[in-house]
Amino acid sequence: MADPRDEALALAESAIALIAEAGASDADATVTVADRFSCEARDLEVTKLERSRGRSLHVRAFVGKRRATLATSDLSREGIAALAKRAVAAAAFVGEDPHAGLPDEIAPDGVCDHDLLTVSPDVAERGDEEKIEEALAMERAVREADARIGNSDGSRVRDSLVSWGLANTRGFRGVTQGSQVSRAAAPVAVDGDDKRIGHYGTAARGWSTAESAEAVSLHAVHRALALIGARKPATMRVPVIFERDVAAAVLGDVFSALSAANVAIGNSWLADRVGKRIGNERVTIVDDGRLRGGLGSSPFDGEGVATRETTVVRNGVLETYLSDTYWGRRIGMASTGNASNGSVGANNLYLVPGGGTLDDLVASTERGVLVLDTIGFATEYASGLYSRGARGIYIENGAPQYAIDEFTIASTFEEMLGAVDGIAGDLRFDGTIVSPSFRVAEMTISGT
């Protein structure tokens, strides 16, 4: 079988040649070749099974300052030629944009100065039958772990190997590849007339670096059982601890405000705040596109700009936004190597961890709430207001007391970042936006 990296780059080169021939003044093309496996088990049965190989082409055609973006899965020469003509023709109907255009600086030959460890050989080496049996074994494990586990929303095992090539009319040629594996379980605990679902999953570049199937299963069971007997808490203002996965979701909201795409249109509470304090000195946020083994690591971004390590917030002070070329031009900054799918994306964005464990944070909290899950969406990026429904554990005298649900946590992002008074050391790079558990000194809990 031909190397998918060679295939991806050859098709990208063919596409830009055809787009230029159709009349574009500039163009770039990205070809993705993805081999994927996915299975899901419920109880004793495999309920979903998929193995696929997909190929797609995404092009940007520029005619002067007019730009059109199109995509196709027809990668025959005829299909690419037809797409090239449509893209150039479509640009004629688009208004001129002074900021449109390819990057002024591109990564030299797509070369990175060190091995990013984005491909793990154990992904290709592992047989499908073994992965199917693992999903079934996870189902057995969650059901045997505790008599109160009465059902399951499924155990899932997945992997992929994705190659993508990028070429443009300025001479850039780059190709890279990444593997990814994931395990997830969702046991259901019986709680009288209620059901408590404990979702937990993990992801990594390879099977050897991912959390084990047993660990994932037991963690999911623990989450389900932790919420048994949950009651609605009283309204109060207390410290709030965000467990690692929930903390990552909070950081994802912060990323939206850090994106130059939102800053440029006024949809960010961080607009015009570079150089100013937005959190306390414990808060340092980094985006690292060259993190070894990171799920978002790549030698170059989605338009050929070299990736890098960017400290976005240092000791509570906002140092920069994250940007691609277009949105950077809109607000007068250079690209930070964060182009992704036509806009701005996180590479490996994380809150720098502290020390100790989540249990240590709980033990040092006289009275407060540990948030294990959030529900709904009530975030306003322009104003920075944060409000979510939540489930979790009430803490008193430094120890968990009982489960709570049907309450809302609310504050502003600036107040939350300014009141971070404890950060654990439990960071895991199992996504492109990750965070250790952290504690906010005081938030409003709306309950009874």
The Cα–Cα gap between 78 and 84 comes to: 10
| Residue 153: half-sphere exposure toward Cβ, Cα within 13 Å | 17
- pLDDT per residue, tens digit, the chain (448 aa), is 679 999 999 999 999 999 999 999 999 999 999 999 999 999 989 999 999 999 999 999 999 999 999 999 999 999 999 999 999 999 989 999 999 999 987 666 555 556 899 999 999 999 999 999 999 999 999 999 999 999 999 999 999 999 999 999 999 999 999 999 999 999 999 998 889 999 999 999 999 999 999 999 999 999 999 999 999 999 999 999 999 999 999 999 999 999 999 999 999 999 999 999 999 999 999 999 999 999 999 999 999 999 999 999 999 999 999 999 999 999 999 999 999 988 999 999 999 999 999 999 999 999 999 999 998 766 788 999 999 999 999 999 999 999 999 999 999 999 999 999 999 999 999 999 999 999 999 999 998 8
Cβ neighbours around 289 below 10 Å, total? 26
59, two tokens: 């092009």
The Cα–Cα gap between 129 and 38 comes to: 12
What structural domains and CATH numbers belong to the chain? 4-39+48-106 (3.30.2290.10), 122-226 (3.30.2290.10), 230-448 (no CATH)
The Cα–Cα gap between 40 and 158 comes to: 9
Of 3, 205, 209, give the one whose Cα is nearest residue 117.
205
Block residue for tokens 């787009």: 19
179, two tokens: 């593997």
Give the pairing of strands 236-242 and 343-344.
unpaired
Question: Which H/E stretch holds residue 16?
Answer: helix 4-21
Q: From residue 244, how far is each of 165, 183, 426, 436 by CA, in Å?
A: 34, 17, 7, 5
Of 232, 175, 146, give the one whose Cα is nearest residue 29.
175
What DSSP character marks residue 76? S
| Residue 79: half-sphere exposure toward Cβ, Cα within 13 Å | 14
